[in-house]
Amino acid sequence: MPTRGATGDDFEIYASYRGASTSGYYGTLKVVRKTDGRLLYPFEGAAQIGPFETKADAIRAAHQRGDEIVRGDLESPEL
């Protein structure tokens, strides 16, 4: 039976980037609920994060999206 997260500490956010200066940088993201190992992001149909002019901006945007996903799961857990 899935176990919902109780705090932000119950989630792992892996944020990085891909791309190049010529094509733009895109954030990459993986969000896992540690209490049951459920992968919350990426999911089929998830929009790309970017493009951005810098690697740092792409990573920052990915972290922000991850924080949003965690907040959403805390409020209304995906089971």
Q: What is the pLDDT of residue 78?
A: 75
Q: What is the DSSP letter of 70?
A: H
| Three-state secondary structure call for residue 63 | helix
The alpha carbon dihedral of 45, 65, 9, 5 has a sign of: negative
Average pLDDT over residues 50-78: 96
Q: Tens digits of per-residue pLDDT, 4-57?
A: 899 999 999 999 999 999 999 999 999 999 999 999 999 999 999 999 999 999
Q: Structure pTM? A: 0.91
Residue 29: CB atoms within 10 A of its CB come to 23
